[in-house]
Every structure is written in structure tokens, then in C-alpha cells.
Structure 1
Amino acid sequence: MELYSTKKVVAIGGGHGLGRILAALKDFGKNATGIVATTDNGGSTGRIRDCQGGIAWGDTRNCINQLITDPSISSMMFEYRFKGQGELHGHNLGNLMLTALDNLSVRPLDAIDLIRDMLKVDVNIVPMSEHPSDLTALSVDGRWVTGETNVDDMEEDLRRLDLSPEVPATTEAVTAIEEADCIVLGPGSFLTSIMPPLLLPEIGKAIAGNTQAKVIFVENLSPEFGPAGRMTLKEKIEWCERACQARKVDVILGEQPHPEIADLWNCVTTDLASPNRDWRHDRVKLQKAIESQL
């Protein structure tokens, strides 16, 4: 299809949500780019960061996993998670492989590209930054909290999000946004997957500057918990637009109509759920919904 060779699509987020979007965009090959959040501090990723430092690899590994089309010993290794007793319990081998390659490479992006080549993944996957940083949040009562897992657990509503320390965006991420015909935000955890890349000034500026691209926000299919679960869709879109220097979101894709904001944004209601797991986006339905906007 000519669309796949002439249009460039960028998806921004993290975790399972970004992986699902990239799986839906895999026919675009090298014309699709995922910009991945690197601030996770939980699970295997958090333990690796505690002892080795570096960026969070878990969301990147998840995206690569969902793009593997040819099962092999290599892909089985990359997806393997240790069980049993001792230090290795709960660690994902893919996280350890990326950490090792990062230590051997000049750049974290080189580590990702080596794994992509090994697993025959064409879609570009770019960390939001190659420098380690943590998510910080200021609650409405003036309390600062550091770390994604702690932000998700907050009982108070949030006043603002920041990155600590401030880090530069990856040059390749900024370039991909500047050249994109479509920029997709979400689905995924709003505060801990979608927002972290947007907090980088260069990424927000690049989205604001690309006036030709269509910006699409993809809603989750199941409700979130914690402070993100208490935010309305209007608040989430406003947060995104504020981070992108008031660049307007062009389309909101979701399964539920939103008459309360229909005068502010173009809300497209469409079936997106997997037939056997209604909480997960169907890859083919997502693909058709996004391509219909190009």
C-alpha cells in the first residue's frame, strides 16, 4: 500500500499501550517510530536501575516483544523471565541484555538497534532520552513525590509533573516528530507513560512546530487507578496540549462518545477492543482507525 511508503507515523508513550500501537503500525516499517518513556522504576527495571543506573529498559523491551513476528530462540531468550529463588528471580532477560549492550555500546540507542536487528524488527524504537531521569509529581497539598511507582500510588490529585534531573531528548526522537505526518499519543498509563516524553521541552516544541502532522490521542479501554484515574478526559487533553506549547490535539479515538467536549475536540467513536479481551486494543482495529486519519 502506498500509504506505508509515503507517510511517517510517530507514537509516543510506554509499556503495553505503546507496544500495541507499534504492533498496529508495523506495516509502516521504518516509517513508523516509537518514542518510549524511560522513567520506570518498578519491577525488574527498577532493580536494575538501583544497582546499575541508566535509563529504564522495561517499556522498550515490551515494545520490541510486541513487534516480534518471527519466533526464534533469540526471541524466546529476549522474553524469558527468571523464576525461583535468589537475585535473578523476577528479572527479565531482555532487560538484562539491553543493560549489558548499553554498557558495551556508545549509546543506549545502539543497544536497541542491535536487538532490533537480531529480532528482525523494522519499526524504529527510540528512547525519549538517553540520560537517566525520574518522574516527580507535586500534589495539590504541596507534597513532592519521586518515582513512577510512587506517583501511581498517590492518594492526592496532582498539580504538576516534572523530570528529575532535567535531561535532553534524543535527537532521533525530535527529528522523527519534525518529519511525521501523524503523531499518536497513548494509549497507556497517562501520567507515567504518555506524559514523561512530553515533559521534555524539545519534544513538546517539536510537536508544536510540526503544524502539518495530525495529533491523535487514543483513549484507554479500561479505567486507570490512582491520580490518573481521577482525571477527566478533558483534563488529560489539556495537560498534553500544555506540554506541547498549546498545540491542539486534532482527533480523540475512543469507544465511548464524549458530548461534553465535542465542541472542543474532534472525538471519533469507534470499536477498538480485542474480541476476547475487552480491556486490550485490537491491533487490526487500531491500525484501521489510525490509517483512516491519514
Structure 2
Amino acid sequence: MIIVTGAAGFIGSNIVAALNARGRTDILLVDDMSDGRKCLNLADLDFADYLEYDDLLARVEKGDDLGAIDAVFHQGACSDTTEWDGRYVMDRNYRYSKSLHDWCVARGVPFIYASSASVYGMGPDFVETRAAERPLNMYAFSKFAFDQYVRAQAPTVNSQVAGLRYFNVYGPREQHKGKMASVAWHFSGQIERDGECRLFEGSDGYGAGEQRRDFIYVGDCAAVNLWLLDNPRVSGIFNCGTGRSQTFNDVADAVIDWHGRGDKHYIAFPESLVGRYQSYTEADMGALRAAGYDRAFCSVAEGVTRYLDWMHATPAAG
């Protein structure tokens, strides 16, 4: 059995889909279904059982035996970067992760979890070192705090513990995220409704739409997770990006090219984001490559094409 928390979410459901593609259906899905719209991410997937997020925590903290577990993919979290209730975020992201980590370590179960590139704050360095880490909101701090815990425990841990710092992920099964969905999702909707993509004007020395991010296709994120499953001797905290920043204009151009119509419209940069906006991110992929991962990552043009092909073949994805 494989456990996937956050299984109805964006990256979690793509991990389940990737496991299904391998013929694995012995999967225990774990999520919080307060937002029932997320069930659409699971409607075409195969699994063995489902458990509510809080129910798993209760069983783990009691030390229950859940049977033979091959691995835990821990993707579930409060991912709203605008949530400032620190007690809630730390309970949901830090305490939960610690409890599940300790349960896995005590049983020798591989534990592969979602960290975040948000721990780097404004950068300018995006490498897995303490000096580069400066979280700017509660979500980022909760991820940073758990990474710190993992580092402190590592010398006494004999089983796999691997964290992935996801950069700007886009792709299938994110439609439930609303305002937190990727710019690729938003741009496609804007083209369909209004015939134009809306991008920010210049900021931080970058021209209009020329702010740069490391955009990674969600299928590549799932592939890295499954590679870790196949390589249980690999432990550590790793960036999960492409290693190549691209502009928001690149994303808009890829969306416009796919639709065969549309323009770009630049809007004033919001005052509320001045000093709080990442105008540049680019993952240093040296650690993951050194660990042995050698698969290529999609460019924005490749990933957006795959994404929009999927979106328009899947009625519930709009």
C-alpha cells in the first residue's frame, strides 16, 4: 500500500495518476474534502481506500498499525500564502508533517514530502542552504520550520526522508485552486473570455511581463516523486524546478499560440505587492542532479501545450 496525503489536490492527484500509469492501485488516499469540488481530481483514478486528513493524524499519533506501507507521499497542507493565522498553519503544516515523519521513521517507511520554494523569500539565491532561506509568510515559514526539523533529525534516521521544494507548478488538476491556480490556467481562461492575457507592467528593473519564474510542469514533479520512490537510498531536501527561469510573456505567448488568437494587455503593478513579489526565481538543480536524477524537464512551450491539450479534452477542467 502507498499513502498519498493531499491526494485530491493538485500535485497529489498527479502523483496518484502517475502511480496508476504504473499499474499501482493499492493506494490509500488522504485529504480534507471540505471543498467537495476536489473530488473531480479523483474521478478518473483508481485507488483502494480513502481516509479524511484528520482521521489519519489521529491514527498516526496513536501509533496505529496501518498495515504494510511501501511509502508515504505527503502532499497535503494549507497552501494559502495569504493565511496569517499562524497557529492554524503550524498545526496543519508543521505538526501534521512532524507526526507523519516520526511515524514513518519508526517503521522504516520511505517518507517523501512537499516543501516549497517559498522558503527562499525574495532570493536572490535558490539553493538548498540555510543562508538562502528567508520565508516571508506563514505558509513559507511552516515549510521552512519542517525542513529544519528534518535536518535536525537526519543524523539518527535510517530510512528515506526526502523533501521537494516545488517552484511554480502548472498543469492538469489545478482548477479547484481558483485564485491560487497557475498563470497558465488564468491566461487560458482570460483568452477564452476576453481575448487577452493580463500581465503586470514592469517592476524591479524588469520590463512589462518580463519578470521571470522557474515554471515547472506538474507531470515533471510527479516524475521526480516516483524517481524517489524507485531510489529509496536517496534522502535530503531538493529543489524541484527546471533550473531555467522563463518570463510571464513566455507563458502568455504559449497560451496565445495554442489558442491561435489573443493579445497581451499590461496592467499596473499593484502597490500591495511592492517589496513582496518574486520578480525572479530559478532553481539550482545541482543537488537533485548529483543524487542521480537525469530526466529532462519540459520548457514552458512544451508544458503549456500538454496542459491545454489535456484541459480541453477534459470537460471538468475548465
What interval of TM-score do these two structures reach, taking the shorter chain for normalisation?
0.3 to 0.5
- Normalization by structure 2: what TM-score? 0.36
Larger Rg: 2
